[in-house]
Amino acid sequence: MSQITDDTEFKQALKDLDESSQRLIAARFIEHVLPLSTDERIARIVKVAADNEASADELSNALRTAKAATFDSHTRCGSEGNWKEQAGYFVSRAAVAALTPCEQCSSGSPAWQAAMSSRMARTSMEIDADDMSTTNESEQQYKILSDYLNS
Amino acid sequence: MSASFEKGYNALKEQVDAADASFFSSCVHCGMCAEACLFFTETGAPERTPINKTEPLRRVWKQEYTLLGRIGKIFGLGKKVTDEMLQQWETLVYDSCTLCGRCSMVCPVGNDIAGMIRKTREGMAAAGHAPAGLIGATKRAVTIGSPMGVKLPALQAQIAHVEKDTGMTIPVDVKGADYMLLLSSMEIMNFPEFIEAVAKIFKHASVSWTISSEAFEATNSGIQIGVSDIAAELVQRVVDAAAKLKVKNVISPECGHAYMAIRWDGPNLIGKAYDFKVVHILELLDDLRQQGRLKVSRRLSQRLTYHDPCQISRRGGVIDEPRNLINMFADNFTEMPDTGKMNWCCGAGGGVSSNERADEIRLQVFQRKKDQLDAIHVDGMISACSNCRIHLEDGLEEYHMDMPVLSLTETLAQNLEDH
Amino acid sequence: MTETELLTWVRGPGFQIATIIFVLGILLRLAEILMLGRKPNLAEAKGSAMSSGLRTIFTRTIPDASTFRRSAFTITAGYIFHLGLFVVIFLYAPHILVFKDALNISWPALPSTVIDATTVITIIALIALLVHRLKDPVKRYLSNFDDYLVWFVTILPLVTGYIAFHRVGLPAPSLIAIHILSVELLMIVFPFTKLMHTFTLILARWYNGAISGYRGVQS
């Protein structure tokens, strides 16, 4: 099977996955940026998301927790922005996306949204460090997805 | 920005004009404004009656601008304005009011109460009785250029992110572009998808646009705290950048108070009409729709409703445009009971969300929005203000309601025909 | 002073004094307002301030359904007594004669039985509103001396007029003198209380409509 090399392929491949597969792959994207969040709840949420056998109740509880984590970590309108903390916000956003059912997801693909938010988490760290050159989260994500599809 | 009671008193004095005098003269204490204000209806606290929030301004009007009041002042009669009183009024004027303007719509004698509360804030701020969060935001806005401390490199990083992920170029500092887009720090920090959505729509509709690296901030904390000098300075930056880039129009993004500040207050703050037009992003999008430049290829079947951001709808005049746009992609759109210019505030605007002391009341008054939603059983809610969005989400969470809150611009962008 | 002398004074000098204070007082209050002026709006208009302002003077009379539901008592009782006052003051034959004397204009009157009934209804509405003002938390919080004084000087002419009409207690000339005195009290107090809303509400509604209309919102 071929490797994914750009966003068009990436987005399409994600869209083609069924809902639970989207959730699993989203969990992997988030795991990759998990260190950027200081909220302990996220690790547990990601575990639930990555669990194939997770019950509907467990998933909806996890989603609620993710939403709470997102609100807790967002930068209030008018307060002093901290990009390091904002990375945590985007990790929570990714978690919310991963657990949101397809029909409620505005872009139609929860995994794509989780991927985007994960990238933003990385970008936030780069902004904080004032260094845009280093990582390339999208390519890491292509690899994660390719590995998943090939397995 | 040194504060003093004298400065506060004089600030109040300067604010009073003929309209305010007619308002204060006409108030018959009927209490109807209380029933229009969610900070009263959901808490039952009579001191939160809107007209009561203007009491400092009223007392100054009475003893400075009425014969009876002036005579009373000479004899030491009449209700006075003191520093203690201003301190007491702080939570009424800032924590319990978003300047949503519903009171102004309902007053039977025609008082623009929200406008007067806005003016009262001038006195409060000058006397040093404004919430710490707002004071900080305003300081940052002046020194850094953004109330949340978002500097140009951060914006550039967001832009780079968007460019990489979409393959589009975001035009920065393009001279002669038709439109100059402003962004709110809230969007840059919390909803960067907005930039992507706008870029996608503008490419789709072939709009000539740019962002200015010197003035990209739309949020005007000066307006929220009530310090016109600062508000004017923030507007002037935008004016200068627009002149430098020779743009014809400036776009105000999905942020309520930003629109009020740049569109309606701006020229009056700086004392000069603009050389450019100001449009809200929704106004521009509706224009494009009317010209047939937007082609939607997907429609949403979920039952959706629209929350009118107060500063954009009731106080801003952009009421029909969002509905025209929503009808492009929504098959099942329904209005809230009390909609359009009479819709209810989300409870977080006008500086309330940046004030941690107001967290509890902000969530308490969300009950009003909950009641509206309960009446219509929708699957999702659309809005066009980043601050509304995040607090609607918070409120929904608090009240165990499960539905997404969508940005109108982002949703439109997602359902456009791909090139 | 005999009752005839009282009545003569009350109808003559008393009325003149009251009218002068009434008219000058109103003009003073209006001047105080208008002299403050208002800065022109430099923002580009989206709608018409003028037409919206004029329209609001009339449309603000009618609350929207949701607002009405929330303040049904205040609005209903309020309209009853306002309309009642209008009918009693302007559509009662003896009152129309006063206007004819003073301004040389007159118009048809309603039968005095109708006026009588209207007076009773108006008084009841005012009493009900006073009770509400004392009991409703918002109104109680907001209310001050002005509110209660105005209530008193408004209901007094209605009550004294009713008594005079039915000739209860004292001879007619005294009752009429008392009634006219109560009206003169109302006239003197009028310009310095919230009763000014009678005139200033036109300005206030105009400004409100203009502000909204400028932004393209029908207020």
Low-confidence ranges of chain A (pLDDT < 50): none
Domains and CATH numbers, chain C: 3-35+72-192 (1.20.950.20)
- Two tokens, residue B381: 């809610």
The whole domain housing A142 covers 17-150
Residues from chain C contacting residue B18 (CB–CB below 8 Å): 33-38, 203, 207
- C-beta of residue B313 within 8 angstroms of C-beta of residue B390: no
Residues from chain B contacting residue C59 (CB–CB below 8 Å): none
Given a cut of 60, is residue C69 above it in pLDDT? yes
CA distances from B310 to B31, B256, B343, B385, B412 (A): 22, 7, 8, 9, 21
Of C32, C137, C218, the CB nearest to B46: C137
Local structure of residue C170 (DSSP, 8 states): S
Asked if the structure places residue A4 within a domain, the reply is no
What is the rounded CA–CA span in Å between residue A136 and residue B12? 55
What is the rounded CA–CA span in Å between residue C179 and residue C158? 8
Q: Cα Rg for chain B, rounded, in angstroms? A: 22
Identify the residue among B135, B143, B148, B188 best suited for mutation to test binding to A, counting A beta carbons within 10 A and taking the highest: B148
CA dihedral (C108, C109, C114, C120) positive or negative: positive
Residues from chain A contacting residue B190 (CB–CB below 8 Å): 74-75, 86, 89
Nearest to B347 by CA among B360, B338, B334, B332: B360
- The residue with tokens 């002398």 is C5
Nearest to B23 by CA among B69, B79, B62: B62
Judged by a CB distance cut-off of 8 A, whether residue B414 touches chain A is yes
Residue of A nearest to B220 (CA): A78
Residue of B nearest to C214 (CA): B317
Asked if the structure places residue A66 within a domain, the reply is yes
Q: Please report the residues numbered 79 through 138 in chain B whose beta carbons come closer than 8 angstroms to any beta carbon of chain C.
A: 104-112, 115
Of C46, C60, C133, the CB nearest to B108: C60
CA dihedral (A12, B281, B250, B354) positive or negative: negative
- C-beta of residue B178 within 8 angstroms of C-beta of residue B271: no
Nearest to C54 by CA among C207, C217, C157: C207
CA dihedral (C167, C172, C178, C183) positive or negative: positive
Reduced 3-state DSSP string for B111-126: CCHHHHHHHHHHHHHH
Query: How far is the first Cα of chain C from the last one, in angstroms, to the nearest whole number?
Result: 56
Judged by a CB distance cut-off of 8 A, whether residue B77 touches chain C is no
Residues from chain B contacting residue A68 (CB–CB below 8 Å): 397
Work out the burial of residue A108: count CB atoms within 10 Å of its CB; fewer than 13 is exposed, 13-18 middle, 19 or more buried. middle
Asked if the structure places residue A6 within a domain, the reply is no
- For the beta sheet containing B277-280, the strands, ordered from the edge strand earlier in sequence to the opposite edge, are B209-211, B179-181, B249-252, B277-280
Ramachandran category for residue A2: left, alpha or beta (phi over 0 → left; psi -120 to 50 → alpha): beta
Domains and CATH numbers, chain B: 5-130 (1.10.1060), 135-289 (3.40.50), 296-414 (3.40.50)
CA distances from C61 to B314, C88, C150, C197 (A): 19, 20, 21, 13
Query: What string of pLDDT tens digits covers the 419 residues of chain B?
Result: 578 999 999 999 999 999 999 999 999 999 999 999 999 999 999 999 999 999 999 999 999 999 999 999 999 888 899 999 999 999 999 999 999 999 999 999 999 999 999 999 999 999 999 998 888 888 888 888 788 888 888 899 889 888 877 889 999 999 999 999 999 888 888 888 899 999 999 999 999 999 999 999 988 888 778 888 888 988 999 999 999 999 999 999 998 889 999 999 999 999 999 999 999 999 999 999 999 999 998 899 999 999 999 999 999 999 999 999 999 999 999 999 999 999 999 999 998 988 989 999 999 999 999 999 999 999 999 999 999 999 999 999 899 998 889 999 999 998 998 75
Identify the residue among B27, B30, B104, B312 best suited for mutation to test binding to C, counting C beta carbons within 10 A and taking the highest: B30
pLDDT of residue B205: 95
Given a cut of 90, is residue C184 above it in pLDDT? yes
- The residue with tokens 């902004």 is A127
Q: Considering its fold, how many domains does chain A have in total?
A: 1
CB contact under 8 A, B164 and A138: yes
Global pTM reads 0.93
- C-beta of residue B100 within 8 angstroms of C-beta of residue B350: yes
ipTM of the complex: 0.96
Residues from chain C contacting residue B107 (CB–CB below 8 Å): 60, 208
Asked if the structure places residue A11 within a domain, the reply is no
Tell me the one-letter amino acid at B215: A
CA dihedral angle for residue B124, residue B127, residue B129, residue B134, rounded to 10 degrees: 80
Residue of C nearest to B54 (CA): C142
